[in-house]
Structure 1
Amino acid sequence: MIKLILLGVVAAALALAAYIRLAPSDPARWHEDPRLVTRPSTPNFHLIRMVGGDAMPRVFQLAPDALATRIDEVARADGATLLAGSVQAGHMTYLTRTQLMGYPDYTSILIEPAGEGAMLLAFARARFGHSDMGNNRARLERWIAALDDPALND
């Protein structure tokens, strides 16, 4: 009897892991504008925007289309997949997965003109769980750091 219960628990854990790994990602649900999102009630996100964000956006001395191209290159080099939006529109949402369990995270990027340059607004969040252990913030900081060429920033 104990073997059957243990087998059932293992089977349930495997089914949950498979669901998390294989659940489809609806672009309409996850492609959001960082300026307009409501802050989640859980701490599994990081938000960069002018008002109500966790961090203020930075201005880069690049045209908006050039900044969108650069952040797309950085995101893809980091293993992200474009889920929705386009570089041409300057509004992209990327799917990334945690290394061990493959939990999906979504990062929406919006590039806006700012004077002679452009600024990057972002909303990175986990799909499952209460806490992301700082992964979304770390990812955004890593991507922005990759843009940290003195010739690009003001």
Structure 2
Amino acid sequence: MRRMNLFWLLVVLAVLGLGYVRLAPSDPARWHVAPAGDADKDFQSGVLRVVETGPDGLERFDAIAIHAPRTRVLAGSVEDGMVTYVTRTKVMGFPDYTTAVQDGGTLRILARSRFGRSDLGVNKQRIDGWLGRLQAGG
């Protein structure tokens, strides 16, 4: 009987944890921050990409990002020169945040996870894919 109660307690805790991951609000003040850096960098839970795109890079990047599965704009706009997107993983709904800012002809993109120490390369794969499309013309 005691094992059964422990089992159900663990199930309830797992469901609550997953519910929190899916329903936790995203605070734009925390995530909508301009990326800093002058060179590409890979982190354990994200990436920074610095790309020469010309002055319309953010506009072209936005056209790709807003059509990506499970991606929506959290804050900002192309007109503001900076946009932050939230992309959720398919199964578990983990949020990843991508901020892109236009600085003259340079586009700076920071993609990072909210939960966990490692994103298992998901942000790198997504951003490099989006940039591949950007460089191919859409």
**TM-score normalised by length of structure 2:** 0.88
Give the drift of 1:26. 0.5
* One-letter code aligned to 1:45: G
1:134 CA displacement = 0.4
Query: What SS does the corresponding residue of 2:97 show, helix, strand or coil?
Result: strand
Q: In the aligned structure 1, how far is the partner of 2:78 from the partner of 2:106?
A: 14
The percent identity for this pair of structures is 38
Query: In structure 1, what is the Cα distance between the partners aligned to 2:94 and 2:16?
Result: 14
Structure 2: gaps spanning 5 or more residues: 38-42
Pairwise CA RMSD of aligned residues? 1.7
Secondary structure at 2:92 match in 1:
coil
Secondary structure of the residue that 2:116 maps to in structure 1? Answer: coil
Is 1:92 equivalent to 2:83 in the alignment?
yes
Q: Secondary structure in 1 aligned to 2:66? A: helix
Q: What's 2:8 paired with?
A: 7
Tell me the equivalent position of 2:40.
none
Q: What amino acid sits opposite 1:103 in the alignment?
A: F
* Runs of 4+ residues deviating >6 angstroms: none
Counterpart-to-counterpart distance in 2, 1:58 and 1:29: 24
Give the Cα separation in 1 of the matches to 2:51 and 2:48: 13
What's the TM-score, normalizing by structure 1?
A: 0.79
Match of residue 51 from structure 1: none
> Which position in structure 2 is the counterpart of 1:135?
122
Letter in 2 for 1:148: Q
* Secondary structure of 1:147's aligned partner: helix
| 1:17 partnered with 2:18 | yes
Number of matched residues?
A: 131
Cα distance between partner residues in 1 of 2:26 and 2:118: 20
For residues 29 and 58 of structure 1, what CA distance do their matches in structure 2 show? 24
Secondary structure of the residue aligned to 1:73 is: helix
Distance (whole Å) between structure 2 residues aligned to residue 149 and residue 123 of structure 1: 21
For 2:24 and 2:116, locate their aligned partners in 1 and report how far apart those are by CA, in whole Å: 14
Deviation at residue 8 of structure 1 after TM alignment: 0.4
Shift of 1:2: 1.2
Which letter maps to 1:71? Answer: F
Give matches, 1:56-135, under 5 Å: 57-60=50-53, 62=54, 64=55, 66-79=56-69, 80-113=71-104, 118-135=105-122
